[in-house]
Structure 1
Amino acid sequence: MGIKASPVFALIDCNSFYASCERVFRPDLAKTPIVVLSNNDGCVIARSYDAKPHIKMGEPYFQIKDRLAQLGIVAFSSNYALYGDMSERVMSVIESLVPAVEVYSIDECFADLTGIDDVNALGRHLRHILVQRTGIPVGVGIAHTKTLAKLANHTAKRLQSQTGGVVNLCTEFQRHWVLRNTAVSEVWGIGRRMTVHLQGMGISTAMDLASADPWMLRKKFSVVIEKTARELAGTPCLELDEPDPPKQEICCSRMFGKRLTTVAPIKEAVATYMMRASEKLRAQQSYCRKVRVSIRTGMFNPDEAKYAQGVVVTLPYPTDDVRLLTKVAVDAVDSVFRPGFKYSKAEVMLLDLRQPGEFSDDLFAVNQPAEASRVMAVLDEINGRWGRGTLRAASVPVNPAWSMRRELMSQSYTTRLDQLWRVS
């Protein structure tokens, strides 16, 4: 019986993902610093590498607007449709080149490289193919544990000119060099408060943590810190996760682009949010039995009256039909709306979610009609092919006046036919 090969993980992380997505279709900005703003153009949530020395994360846009212009930094409103589609393209390319993938976030994933002979060559190939096929640059960290792979990726980005964007910590010499030259605060899962505790014990580098007694760490802190230390020392404790189980709740909420004082636009917003929530519901092949609808005013302006209210509605039968879900949600707005307030946000939440056949009803219980399921399948197929919102409920407006402020948003080059990239 052969010896089982040591596991090898890769952490593939897109470089400044939101900014990189904007640059794919704006080659004129290849050497221009970029920042991306939060909902309603509120604050900075992403920065290109060359913008980081000048702008801090979370800085309010209205405070730094003039400074951005002086520094030649270009700001973009968040374009989640573009970022989501580009993420799917990146992950699809990676999945075609490696044995197994665990998507960790919108811009990074773990890959199983166990048994592959030349992992360095594969790492370089991944970088080349991803830039060629998607235009998105990535860093690749390779190691025998997921925690070390994360650390290798951090080093690949920090020292990109020396590493070429690929770092392999499968050898003891390379692993020890990186551990000695990395602060413990940079280790995956070590937050600010934990860093203070560890530094108080004389643990200031990743090497210090890897060399610490894991049983002592478990007793003093938790099994999570123990596993982190063992992983840094080269002992695998974390495996590639299985696909996430279906969610038990689905929520969709947004801030309005301006305060709303009448019920009609709030109903439009609720219908719009329900459209998105129901898409997520059908994507995980679940049915919903209850819906919660809530609205609220702004909570931080001392000059505005405060109000927040929500209501839970039980549906007549488990369903994924956006028509029934929208009707119930829109009708529920009347029970929570109160005149005289300036509303800033609405939320819809789908509750009591289960897979078809998991609801225990009596023999005479009403079920979703078969034709409704067929209509939803056609709806999703058309929107999947021609772009979200091609078919929608009549109560969902096209360009509502209440939508989030995104005055600096780029085009949805990959998801809308009317916004395809044009080269003159």
Structure 2
Amino acid sequence: MPIFALIDCNSFYCSCERICQPELKRVPVVVLSNNDGCVIARTSEVKQLGIPMGAPFFQVRDQLAAAGVVVRSSNYTLYADISNRVMTVMASMLPAIEVYSIDEAWGDMSGVQEDLTEYGKRIRARLLQWVGMPVGVGISTTKTLAKLANWAAKKWPATGGVVDLTDPARQERLLRIAAVSEVWGVGRRLAARLRPLGIETAWDLAQFDIGTLRKTFGVTLERTARELRGISCIGINEGPPPKQAICSSKMFGRKLRDLGPIQEAMATYVTRAAEKLRQQQSLCGALQVSLQTQYHNPELPRYANGLTCPLATPTDDTRDLLAVALRGLRHIYRPGYAYSKCAVLLIDLSQRGEVTPDLFAPAPRRGAERLMSIVDQINKREGRGTVRLGRVPVEPDWGMRRDMMSRCYTTNWDELITVGA
């Protein structure tokens, strides 16, 4: 019988800030989205204040200040590094893991011989000691039940952050008290559609007629109900499938009117998308570029446009991708507008060796694959942007507003944590 564990970091972005800034350990913290727009992470103290997820910062600024809440801009470089450390520790303690998101992963506990609760506590203690990251651990015989067990581990502190739901009797007790909206993949909208059928709790969903669920809501909800019954339908996938499209885009920190700065932004986004493309060992056959003004300001003229640009030969070479993207950008750019965002989307992706080369297409650049590999290695070792195209600026004046961003404590030699008298 398979045994799954879901290990989920608590308030991940806020916990990352606290790891590197001990003075925040007992202080409420929120982290903001790009350009310091909305609240995207909250500690438990902030949740108790009634600050909702996604609240615009300008609306809750005074309330946060009055409550003594520390506000941080998003620091994705720091968060990614700490996430890698968390996943490395998990992988060292479990036979197999499946990274589900930046702050959670599934673990295969089928071969664990000792008490599952105690082993879950060991994982939790090691992550806290080695990385400083608090987590919740849910354990059960299916992924859906493990997810529900993780919810219980975080909801009730008396559990010690670990809930073992492999026992059928314990499963039934939790299913009877858990709202159906807490079930993985259900959510509030689907829960509202289930309510007229008398499905209020996870137990109601597990006991409902499988055929009716499939006919009315589809195979996904049917699979969820089976998993709640203890029938494992979703296994551990150690290597996630490659993405079918890769997008890179951010709002500008200020409105841009001239083509030059917009080209710099496009070069930055193409560089990042190409890195992701090479990480999954894919090639790009076409890309889409887009450009738009802000839609929420009626006083400014509006414009938005996009263009799909095929490539002569599938490639992962940043130089070739950027050349095509800039051609497309010049085609859709119109002077006289205050632009707020541009984007690049890599599409028509394929794995190396899957596509038969076109005999009449231009030959790829000689040594391009090796060059890109060396660039990625250097940037991974020395920090992103150490080696970059000339069009990519170091500190662009159009970059995201992150006025309250913490230092990159773990990825920049000049910003390491220091201990002094």
With the shorter chain as reference, the TM-score category is: over 0.9
Among 128, 134, 156, the alignment partner of 1:159 is 156
* TM-score, normalisation: structure 2: 0.95
Structure 1 counterpart SS, 2:254: strand
Q: CA deviation at 1:58?
A: 1.4
Q: CA deviation at 1:364?
A: 5.0
Alignment of 1:359 onto 2:359: no
How many residues are paired up? 418
The residue aligned with 1:304 is 300
Per-residue Cα deviation, 1:21-50 (whole angstroms, up to 9, x for no partner): 110001111111111111111111111112
Letter in 1 for 2:178: T
The residue aligned with 1:421 is 417
Letter in 2 for 1:324: D
The residue aligned with 1:251 is 247
Contact residue 289 and residue 351 of structure 1 kept, 8 A: yes
The residue aligned with 1:265 is 261
Equivalent residue runs for 1:88-99 within 5 Å:
88-99=84-95
Structure 2 counterpart SS, 1:10: strand
Among 4, 7, 23, the alignment partner of 1:28 is 23
The separation in 2 between residues aligned to 1:306 and 1:320, in whole angstroms, is: 34
Among 292, 316, 321, the alignment partner of 2:317 is 321
Q: CA deviation at 1:423?
A: 2.0
Structure 2 counterpart SS, 1:200: helix
The residue aligned with 1:146 is 143
Q: CA deviation at 1:410?
A: 0.9
Equivalent residue runs for 1:10-409 within 5 Å:
10-54=5-49, 55-117=51-113, 118-160=115-157, 162-363=158-359, 365-409=361-405
The separation in 2 between residues aligned to 1:328 and 1:218, in whole angstroms, is: 45
Contact residue 288 and residue 353 of structure 1 kept, 8 A: yes
Contact residue 313 and residue 358 of structure 2 kept, 8 A: no
Deviates more, 1:366-375 or 1:103-112: 366-375
Structure 2 counterpart SS, 1:21: helix
Letter in 1 for 2:319: R
Deviates more, 1:365-374 or 1:386-395: 365-374
Structure 2 counterpart SS, 1:75: strand
Letter in 1 for 2:125: H
Letter in 2 for 1:125: R
Per-residue Cα deviation, 1:87-125 (whole angstroms, up to 9, x for no partner): 111111101111111111111111111132221221011
Q: CA deviation at 1:242?
A: 5.0
The separation in 1 between residues aligned to 2:138 and 2:182, in whole angstroms, is: 14
The separation in 2 between residues aligned to 1:208 and 1:343, in whole angstroms, is: 50
The separation in 1 between residues aligned to 2:358 and 2:393, in whole angstroms, is: 39
The separation in 1 between residues aligned to 2:351 and 2:310, in whole angstroms, is: 17
The separation in 1 between residues aligned to 2:149 and 2:358, in whole angstroms, is: 56
The separation in 2 between residues aligned to 1:25 and 1:272, in whole angstroms, is: 28
Structure 1 counterpart SS, 2:27: coil
Per-residue Cα deviation, 1:358-411 (whole angstroms, up to 9, x for no partner): 333344543323322221111111101011011111111111110011111111
Q: CA deviation at 1:223?
A: 2.2
* TM-score, normalisation: structure 1: 0.95
Per-residue Cα deviation, 1:330-356 (whole angstroms, up to 9, x for no partner): 233221111110100011122222223
C-alpha RMSD of matched pairs (Å): 1.5
Contact residue 386 and residue 417 of structure 1 kept, 8 A: no
In structure 2, the CA distance between the partners of 1:418 and 1:141, relative to structure 1 (3 Å rule), is same
Letter in 2 for 1:114: S
Q: CA deviation at 1:317?
A: 2.8
In structure 2, the CA distance between the partners of 1:180 and 1:327, relative to structure 1 (3 Å rule), is same
Q: CA deviation at 1:293?
A: 1.8
